[in-house]
Every structure is written in structure tokens, then in C-alpha cells.
């Protein structure tokens, strides 16, 4: 019988031979009693009862801070226009977006069609980038493809559990606008651990959030998405403390209702002008009636298969289970484009990140590329993914290839602002180093499996 074992099954040997940081033996994870029997199988809960929420109708959230005014103010949908002045540009934002001058009698509403003006007055032109591109200021949050760092905090050279090699500040500087990772509540403090704190523990959620807040202070025209993994299924109220302590709560967006459909999301300018520039999703146990700003991920965003090993990256719904096509087309979605490889030995197998094929996986075009994955998804669902979840975002056939792929899917010209480096080595050399560093661990793991079997 073939046995498939994840990294968590090989903790002792992997810890000894790969230099993996172990959690202190005295630390005990905080685990709700009613979820004690749930385990993760290949990253997916073995028992899904009570983990996925569905709504028969839309629920209005109180205290959301949504800006609503009576209809008839000239914008056509009851949303007041916003005006703000920066050091170099004035943004005029209404329900239709940022007005950009095209000619003496025509203006284009970036991302939202066109209209004609009878006035010959020259209209202001938006030149201030929102999330890197002026065109994004007028687009809805749900109409933008973002590069998402898979397991963003897990950066440790030579560690098999790492998925990135740049810290979060450089990730954000380079253009990553979504940060995904798993948390584990241990003795009242959230730790950033990869599957288990015995495999890789890179510190506290508090410290990670402080770095994000410092970046937000310096970049007031950017909107960041955080995809939190609730590693030990704790109540959502537990997450309030690290958001408050770090100061990140001041930036968090609260939607006016749940669930939010595609057309319900505001333009990017709304987040920027209101200062609420961080959208936070929790994958399991969210309760927006209790914590309205901690969004229930799988009622408002679906995902393609987790830990993919198929280079064709089929664009099908895995989570939440049972989601119909009609609902999927009215919901944001994330494409998991972080390729894994399966190592087989003595009838057993181990899933590990496929670093050998990063040049193909993180390419703009070609079989197995992130660009082709986005195009295939767009052809199937009528729109590209909202998030491209990738490993080692700064590696590929050329510097910034994953961002070039996102720009293509966004129908904008890639701005070329990537990528930061902690080393002078070329991407191909780094890929080679990553692969060669992992092989001793693979061999040790295989020997361990022989003993187990």
C-alpha cells in the first residue's frame, strides 16, 4: 500500500539534519476542545464540519464605516465623490473612478468605460500610482490581479520549509500585494509556523505585523491583502490582540456587508482615501458578526487546488467544497501556483516545493507558467484570478517575471519595479542552490520512511 507523508510526519529527523528550528518543548498549542480531532491532510482539514459558512442572504455589518449618501448627488449610485490633494496630484474619485483627460471633449474612466463631456474644460489627469499603476485607482478591488507571496514569512536559507527568500518589507517593495501564511497560537502568542512549529518557527505574528505597519506608513497609496491561516482553529477574537498591539488594526478595512460579491467591492481609491488599506481574510473559524473586519475567506474567495503537483494547474474549485459555477463566477478567487514535487521511495512519497522548475513555473508564458495559468483561468471563468499565489516570487526566467505576468492579466504595461536581492547570485544560480541544499534532506527523509514502513 502506498503511503503519502507530509513534512510534519518527519519532524525529528528533519529537525536534526536540516537545521530546522524547533519550538520550545514547554510551549503548548492553544486548541479549542470542539476541534481537537481535526487534523490537516495535505494542508486540507480532514473534517470540514463547521469550517465553511454559507449565507442564504446578505448580512449587513454594523460599525463598518462604509460611506453612503442619498442618491441624486450626480454620481448615479448614492456614493459620494471623494477629493484629496497630495504633494503632486489631486484625485477626483466618484462612483465611476478617476477622471483622466483624453481630449477637449472626451474623458476616459480608467477601468470603467468611457463617457463624453460637453465641456471643453481640461480635466485633471491622475498620475499617482495605486498599487503601482495609475490605472488601478479607478478599478474595483475585485478587478485586479495581485501577486501573492505563498507562506510570506517563511524565509530561512537552507530550510526545506521555506517558500520565499526575501523578508516581507522587500516583498512589498517589489510589488507583492497579498501576504499568505499560517499562524499557531502558543501560550497566548501567535507564532508563524510552517504546518508545525517543529518544522519552522520564524517568530511572532506581532513582529511580522510591525514590519508591515512600518511599510504602510511609508507607502500611503498601496492596498495590501493578508490571507491568514488559522493553524489550530482558534476563535477569531484571538486575532484582535496582535492587530491592536502592532497598530495594524488602524489600517484594516471593514466591509459594509457579508458576503461581498464581485460588484460589491469599492475602487482601490476608496481604501486609499479612507486610510483603510489592509483587507484581512481568515481561512477557518471567521465570524464577521463578532469580528466584522476579519473576513471569512471562503464565503468571499475560492481557491484552486492546494499544494499543486500538476503542471497544467487545472483551474477548478477546491475550497470551499461544493461551490457551484454560478456562485464561483460572482466571487473573487485565488490561483495556487506554487508547484510541488513528489519524491517516491519504498512505496512512500513526500511532497516538497519544486525549485528545479521555478524558471518555468514563474514565467509569463509557456507550459506550466503562471501567465498561462492566469489566461486559462480567465478563459474558464471569464476573468483572471484575483491572486496568484507563488513561491520564490523573485525567481524566474527574468527579473520580475511573475509581476510581468500579473501586469499582462491586468492589461497594463509592466512597470519593471522588481526585484530586491539579498545576494548577488543570479536567479538560476539561486534555484540551483536551493535544489542542491534540499537533496540531503530528501535522502534523510527517505531513510526515515524506510524505518517507519
List active site positions: 150, 194
Residue 264 near residue 317 (C-beta atoms within 8 A): no
How many whole angstroms separate alpha carbon 59 and alpha carbon 122? Answer: 43
Per DSSP (E only), the strands in 102-215 are 106-109, 114-116, 146-149, 178-186, 189-194, 196-204
Helices and strands: H and E segment counts in the chain: 11, 22
Helices (H), 139-267: 168-174, 205-218, 240-246
Cis bond before residue 246 (omega within 30° of 0): no
Residue 148 near residue 239 (C-beta atoms within 8 A): no
**Burial class of residue 107 (count of CB atoms within 10 Å of its CB; 0-12, 13-18, 19+):** buried
Q: How many Cβ atoms sit within 10 Å of the Cβ of residue 258?
A: 21
Cell readout for 405 is 505576468
CA distances from 11 to 14, 16, 91, 167, 438 (A): 5, 9, 53, 25, 15
CA dihedral angle for residue 212, residue 390, residue 52, residue 224, rounded to 10 degrees: 30
Residue 148 near residue 179 (C-beta atoms within 8 A): yes
DSSP secondary structure string for all residues of 27-53: --B---GGGTT--EETTEES--TTTS-
Cell readout for 159 is 530550510
Cis bond before residue 207 (omega within 30° of 0): no
Helices (H), 131-253: 168-174, 205-218, 240-246
DSSP 136: G
Cell readout for 181 is 501564511
How many whole angstroms separate alpha carbon 282 and alpha carbon 286? Answer: 6
How many whole angstroms separate alpha carbon 23 and alpha carbon 36? Answer: 20
Amino acid at each position: 500500500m502506498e503511503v503519502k507523508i507530509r513534512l510534519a510526519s518527519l519532524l525529528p529527523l528533519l529537525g536534526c539534519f536540516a537545521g530546522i528550528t524547533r519550538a520550545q518543548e514547554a510551549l503548548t498549542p492553544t486548541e479549542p476542545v470542539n476541534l481537537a480531532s481535526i487534523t490537516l491532510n495535505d494542508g486540507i482539514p480532514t473534517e470540514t464540519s463547521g469550517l465553511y459558512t454559507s449565507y442564504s442572504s446578505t448580512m449587513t455589518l454594523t460599525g463598518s464605516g462604509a460611506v453612503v449618501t442619498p442618491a441624486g448627488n450626480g454620481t448615479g449610485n448614492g456614493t459620494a465623490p471623494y477629493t484629496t490633494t497630495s504633494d503632486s496630484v489631486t484625485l477626483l474619485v466618484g462612483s465611476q473612478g478617476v477622471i483622466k483627460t483624453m481630449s477637449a471633449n472626451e474623458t476616459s474612466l480608467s477601468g470603467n468605460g468611457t463617457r463624453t463631456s460637453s465641456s471643453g474644460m481640461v480635466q485633471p489627469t491622475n498620475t499617482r500610482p495605486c498599487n503601482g499603476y495609475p490605472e488601478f485607482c479607478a478599478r474595483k478591488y475585485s478587478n485586479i490581479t495581485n501577486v501573492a507571496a505563498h507562506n510570506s514569512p517563511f524565509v530561512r536559507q537552507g530550510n526545506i520549509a521555506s517558500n520565499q527568500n526575501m523578508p516581507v518589507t522587500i516583498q512589498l517593495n517589489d510589488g507583492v500585494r497579498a501576504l499568505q501564511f499560517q499562524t499557531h497560537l502558543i501560550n497566548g502568542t501567535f507564532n508563524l509556523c510552517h504546518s508545525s512549529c517543529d518544522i519552522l518557527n520564524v517568530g511572532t505574528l506581532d513582529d511580522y505585523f510591525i514590519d508591515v505597519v512600518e511599510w504602510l506608513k511609508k507607502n500611503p497609496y498601496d492596498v495590501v491583502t493578508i490571507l491568514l491561516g488559522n493553524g489550530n482553529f482558534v476563535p477569531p477574537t484571538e486575532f484582535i490582540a496582535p492587530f491592536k498591539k502592532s497598530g495594524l488594526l488602524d489600517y484594516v478595512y471593514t466591509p459594509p456587508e457579508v458576503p461581498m460579491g464581485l460588484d460589491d467591492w469599492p475602487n482601490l481609491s476608496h481604501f486609499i482615501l479612507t486610510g483603510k488599506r489592509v483587507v484581512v481574510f481568515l481561512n477557518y473559524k471567521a465570524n464577521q458578526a463578532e469580528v466584522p473586519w476579519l473576513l471569512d475567506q471562503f464565503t468571499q474567495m475560492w481557491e484552486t487546488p492546494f499544494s499543486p503537483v500538476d503542471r497544467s494547474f487545472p483551474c477548478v474549485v477546491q475550497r470551499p467544497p461544493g461551490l457551484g459555477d454560478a456562485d464561483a463566477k460572482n466571487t473573487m478567487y485565488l490561483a495556487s501556483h506554487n508547484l510541488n514535487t513528489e519524491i517516491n521511495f519504498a512505496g512512500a512519497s513526500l511532497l516538497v516545493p519544486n525549485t528545479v522548475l521555478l524558471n518555468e513555473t514563474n514565467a509569463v508564458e509557456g507550459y506550466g507558467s503562471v501567465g498561462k495559468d492566469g489566461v486559462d483561468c480567465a478563459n474558464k471563468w471569464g476573468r483572471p484570478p484575483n491572486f496568484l499565489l507563488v513561491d520564490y516570487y523573485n525567481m524566474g526566467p527574468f527579473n520580475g517575471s511573475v509581476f510581468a505576468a500579473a501586469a499582462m492579466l491586468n492589461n497594463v504595461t509592466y512597470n519593471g519595479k522588481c526585484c530586491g536581492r539579498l545576494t548577488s547570485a543570479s536567479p538560476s544560480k539561486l534555484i540551483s542552490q536551493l535544489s542542491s541544499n534540499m537533496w540531503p534532506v530528501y535522502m534523510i527523509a527517505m531513510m526515515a520512511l524506510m524505518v517507519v514502513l
